[in-house]
């Protein structure tokens, strides 16, 4: 595990696990949200996202968390390990709401400067519909590369804890 991608719904725990894996494995962590959002929630153009990700995945080792479906293939092709968070939409919505309260008027460490925690209806809708709209596309991609890479699917918070424990015991 030297090139790790974490994907899944908002609120699934990607950033938290990425940071913990980074600490255990001593691998640099890249949060795509922190890279691709500018102050005031201004997005980065797709071409720039693509260029940045191609540079990141050319490095010897990395952990990248984030979805960004338009550029996901760049990360999936370069990764040796893919972790897909397939948690319940209820868990994800709860965590998004909890995070909003926890980081009210503050910046999370996995977000860009000038992007304080916020929630809007569009984001909540995306999280709620993730299992129906995004998950099938991701599972199809993962099925196509599962023979070449280690694909780990975490369905429950306990699966996440067990995976982290396993990685910790190996290192």
**Average pLDDT, integer, range 131-152:** 92
Q: 28 lies in a domain?
A: yes
Can you give the residue range of the structural domain that contains 39?
3-159
- State residue 1's pLDDT score: 92
Q: Does residue 164 lie within any of the structural domains? A: no
Mean predicted confidence (pLDDT) in 138-143: 93
Q: Does some domain include residue 9?
A: yes
71: closest CA among 88, 52, 94? 52
Query: Average pLDDT of 95-115?
Result: 75
In a domain, 64, yes or no: yes
**What CATH number has the domain bearing residue 34?**
3.40.50.300
Name which residue leads in pLDDT, 94 or 70. Answer: 94
- Asked if residue 104 is part of any domain, the answer here is yes
Residue 169, in any domain of the structure: no
12 pLDDT higher than 80:
yes
Residue 41: pLDDT over 80: no
168: in domain: no
| Residue 20: both structure tokens together | 């913990």
**84 domain-assigned:** yes
For residue range 80-90, list pLDDT tens digits in order.
999 999 999 99
Encode 138-160: b = buried (16+ Cβ within 10 Å), e = exposed: beebbeeeeeebebbebeeeeeb
Q: How many domains is the chain partitioned into structurally?
A: 1
pLDDT at 105 (0 to 100): 65
């Amino acid at each position: 595990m030297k090139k790790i991608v974490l994907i899944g719904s908002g609120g699934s725990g990607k950033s938290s696990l990425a940071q913990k894996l980074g600490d255990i494995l001593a691998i640099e962590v890249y949060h795509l949200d922190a890279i691709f959002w500018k102050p005031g929630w201004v997005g980065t153009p797709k071409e720039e996202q693509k260029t940045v990700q191609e540079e990141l995945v050319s490095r010897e080792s990395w952990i990248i968390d984030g979805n960004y479906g338009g550029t996901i293939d760049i990360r999936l092709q370069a990764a040796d390990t893919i972790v897909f968070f397939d948690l319940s939409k209820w868990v994800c919505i709860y965590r998004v709401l909890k995070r909003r309260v926890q980081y009210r008027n503050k910046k999370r460490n996995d977000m860009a400067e000038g992007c304080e925690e916020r929630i809007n209806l569009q984001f909540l809708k995306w999280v709620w519909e993730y299992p129906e709209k995004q998950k099938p596309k991701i599972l199809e991609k993962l099925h196509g590369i599962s023979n070449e890479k280690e694909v780990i699917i975490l369905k429950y918070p306990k699966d996440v804890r067990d995976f982290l424990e396993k990685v910790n015991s190996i290192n």
